[in-house]
Structure 1
Amino acid sequence: MQISKNKSMSVESEKGNKFGLNTIFKSKMTTILIATAAIWVLFTFLTDGNFLTTRNLSNLFRQMSITGVLAIGMVFVIILGEIDLSAGSTLGLLGGIAAILNVWLGFSAIPTVVITLILGVIMGAWNGYWIAFRNVPSFIVTLASMLVFRGILIGITGGNTVAPLTPDFKAIGQAYLPTAFGYILVVLAVAGAAYLILNNRKNKLKYNIEVKPMGVDIATIVGIGVVSLGLVLILNDYQGFPIPAFIMLVLALILGFVGTKTIFGRRVYGIGGNRDAARLSGINVKKHIIVVYSVLGLLCAVAGILLTTRLNAGSVSAGQNAEMDAIASCVIGGASLAGGSGTVVGALVGALVMASIDNGMSMMNTPTFWQYIVKGFILLIAVWMDISSKNKK
């Protein structure tokens, strides 16, 4: 009896270790968050505390929104096991078209946005068509589109900056939500997190699947609440929640749900994990490729609108290298370039890392070439860590 009791206690201890502190400290996401905090501390020290001012943090999240929106779409492409090198040029072209519609043709904000979003879906579907139905590698298709779209942008604008935008359109990238709305977002974030976490726990228990201790789930919900409230308090202390950041969060919630809670999302992961097995199991791989690239095109349109309205102009240089920041964000956030893994949350955290580096180094007046060098090494290290972890397994 004593031996049985000791064995039972050992099993319980092992479970607690598996789902408790070890899980918390060994998770990749926790490591990334700790690294982000370290970056913030470093830049706070190097900028004499200016990095953590409410004004700069508000500006940081507004900057992050563009890379974040691109990364949300890019992570699904990477999960598929594909790549898109044209996202930056797509963003630039669609932002330029939006500026032309608004400034030169006199369209108001709503029709400008609608037309731009439709064109984004079409451009994304164009890439998907060549990849899915013509079997051209995604690297080549999107490399070609990168050149074509950038050339079209230069051609239709004549190499000129298109400005200024009308006030109603410009507000999309520069306005803020009322301060009271931020607290509503906190309540919704905590309620949504609690529902998803507890409902997931209930479903696992229903099918006798191991679950984390209740304390870990409660701590997660409380942590989300504390972080959300802290973020809102910081942003409200300046001018409120930036509309671009709000748009990014809404898109993250929608596509995060699609990726984890829908049949379509599970099939995307299945295709990325083993395309032949997915095809043999009856999944329409070509359709999923078209849809995923169309979604990325749509998000390129959103990012293009956000960038154009933030700058109050359409520029021929808009979006250059934006696809690299988006890819790096996804990889830093845990996505594997081999396909089959990655999350929207991870992509957003990666986007925050990239935006923090850009913002901090800009505040230090660091030459642009150093920013490229640092981000290049970060991407290299992130991929190396992903490969190393797979080799260990």
Structure 2
Amino acid sequence: MTVTAPRGPMGSVAPPPRKNGMDDVRLAMTRNLRTSGIYVALVALVALFALITGGASLSAGNITNIVLQYSYILVLAIGMVIVIIAGHIDLSVGSVVALTGAISAITVIKFGMPWWVGVLAALAAGLLIGAWHGFWVAYVGIPAFIVTLAGMLLFRGLTLFVLDNVSLSPFPEGYGVIASGFINGWLGGNGYDVFTLVVFALGVAGFAVSQYRSRKARMGYHQPVPPLSMFALKILAVGVLVMAFAWKLASARGLPVVLIMLAVLIMAYTMMMQHTVFGRQIYAIGGNLAAASLSGVKVRAVNFWIFVNMGLLSAVAGIVFSSRTNGAQPGAGNMFELDAIAAAFIGGAAVTGGVGKVVGAMAGGLIMAVMSNGMQLMGIDQSLQSVVKGLVLLLAVAFDIWNKRRAGAH
């Protein structure tokens, strides 16, 4: 029995049936369901706490305080999501934050060196710690969970030793600018800072151009994209939310220095993960280690540098935290690793590795920050706050597993 293709007019072979345009739209809208859902959840959470607190959570001063108080967690989340994408975990970052802050304090306060020397000493210590972890994980083959668990104990003990189990403060004025400084007044303004608004407006314009170019590229490869009206609505919504955030900062003390540093890190690491060979190799290792090895990826070297990078970012967080608290404490960084891990998973990273984005981890970190800040404004007990955070993390991972099962069923 011979099967022939259906014939069209004049005996020509009929073209295959076209997909319904709505199917393309539906596919484009659901392709990044989880990531999009994170941003919607963040906006909904902000609106909920604004309603409950009578608008106190959206005051200019409180918005600025959120940026200052949780910036170091977001720095840690950038490194942690990369570690998780590669299929590892790092339990030591809180202890590394404490140790690098202590080294900076000893250098500047005890030995009287300039504040920038303390910064360099902390960064060097972070790189060495990262190399230590990377050696054991990448070249000896010990699982990262064990290596960093040992590191958590080891570097906490070294912190107590370096500080002689007592706090050390204060830092000189220049060091405090890192976490508590502001840029304002450059372009004037009456009751608000024009420079802050201009910087954020340029950021929105850059985002719009980037999204438009990405849309054109997908269309060039005949990939489904949402309708132009929905695309424009997305850009408008992002622009309104970002400029509302900028107005709050501009109405308070201006543009925080630490926010500039965080923005630079986010852009740099997003570029690295999405547009460099090293970033693609990280995804390949986390997605399928055997296939990555057979494809020529130098797995050991990549894993080594992943942990070196995590050590560096832990040192940056240690500098920011010690600057924020104007000193070094033996108990600094306690539970920071859990906040960073939670931010990565809530932001879309997969438990099995191979999936995740830097911007998603930032959204997850902001969800944790907004929750913590909102519950503090409501006067909720610290123990209950921990319960809520734990449930949110559990639900985020459960949703990841459910999403994969649903995708597999289809």
Which TM bucket (shorter chain)? over 0.9
CA contact 2:24–2:225 (8 Å) conserved in 1 = no
Query: 1:340 maps to what in 2?
Result: 354
- Separation in structure 1 between the aligned mates of residue 45 and residue 73 of structure 2, nearest angstrom: 18
Q: Structure 1 residues 146, 133: CA separation in 2 closer, same or farther (over 3 Å shift)?
A: same
- CA change 1:216–1:286 in 2 (3 A) is farther
Q: Which residue of 2 aligns with 1:107?
A: 113
Identity among equivalent pairs (%): 36
Residue 245 of structure 2 is matched in structure 1 by: 231
Mean Cα deviation higher: 89-98 or 340-349: 89-98
The answer to whether 1:324 aligns with 2:338 is yes
- Inter-CA distance 212–44: structure 2 relative to 1 (3 Å threshold): closer
Aligned mates of 2:26, 2:223 — CA distance in 1:
17
- 1:59 equivalent in alignment to 2:65: yes
Bigger radius of gyration, 1 or 2? 2
TM-score of the superposed pair, with normalisation by structure 1 = 0.93
Matched ranges for 1:352-391 at <5 A = 352-391=366-405
Q: How far does residue 203 in structure 1 lie from its aligned partner after superposition?
A: 3.1
Bigger mean CA offset, 235-244 vs 189-198: 189-198
Cα distance, 1:94 vs. partner?
0.7
Deviations 1:103-145 (A, max 9, x none): 1112222222122112211111211110000000100000000
d(CA) in 1 for partners of 2:343 and 2:377?
A: 21
Shift in alpha-carbon separation, 1:313–1:76, aligned structure 2, 3 A: same
**Which of 4, 22, 42 does residue 13 from structure 1 map onto?**
22
Task: State the distance in 2 between where 1:42 and 1:210 align.
Answer: 34
Cα deviation 1:153-179 (Å, max 9, x = unaligned): 011101111101100001111111223
Task: Give 1:14-29 correspondences, 5 Å limit.
Answer: 14-19=23-28, 22-23=29-30, 27-29=33-35
Partner of 2:49: 43
Deviations 1:9-61 (A, max 9, x none): x6223223333xx439x722332233223332333344333212111111012
* Amino acid in the other structure paired with 2:90: D
Could you say which residue in structure 2 is the equivalent of 1:185? 199
Cα displacement (A) at 1:183: 2.5
1:219 maps onto 2:233 in alignment: yes
Tell me how large the CA RMSD over aligned residues is: 2.1
Determine which of 30, 39, 49 is the counterpart of 1:33.
39
CA–CA distance in 1 between the matches of 2:377 and 2:224?
47
Structure 2 unmatched ranges of 5 or more: 1-7, 9-13, 185-192
- Structure with a larger share of its residues in helix: 1
Query: Equivalent residue for 1:141?
Result: 147
Contact kept? 1:29, 1:333, Cα under 8 Å: yes
Q: Determine the C-alpha separation between the residues in 1 that align with 2:47 and 2:225.
A: 35
Corresponding position: 1:121 with 2:135? no
| CA distance in 1: counterparts of 2:345 and 2:287, whole angstroms | 16
DSSP-derived class of the 1:133 partner: helix
CA contact (8 A) 2:197 2:250 kept: no
Q: Distance in 2 between matches of 1:212 and 1:112?
A: 50
- Give the aligned partner of residue 319 of structure 2: 305
In 1, are the aligned partners of 2:25 and 2:225 still within 8 Å (CA)?
no
TM-score under structure 2 normalisation?
0.89
Q: What is the CA–CA distance in structure 2 between the aligned matches of 1:343 and 1:168, rounded to whole Å?
A: 34
Seen in structure 2, the aligned counterparts of structure 1 residues 16 and 377 have a Cα distance that, compared at 3 Å, is: closer
Q: How many residues align?
A: 387
Query: In the alignment, is the contact (CA less than 8 A) between 2:104 and 2:118 conserved in 1?
Result: yes
Distance 1:37 1:205, change over 3 A: closer
Question: CA separation in 1, counterparts of 2:44 and 2:211?
Answer: 28
Q: List 4+ stretches of structure 1 deviating above 4 A.
A: none
- What letter matches 2:355 in structure 1? S
Query: Which stretches in structure 1 are left out of the alignment for 5+ residues?
Result: none
SS in 2 for 1:283: coil
**1:269 counterpart (274, 277, 283):** 283
How far apart are the structure 2 equivalents of 1:197 and 1:51? Answer: 30
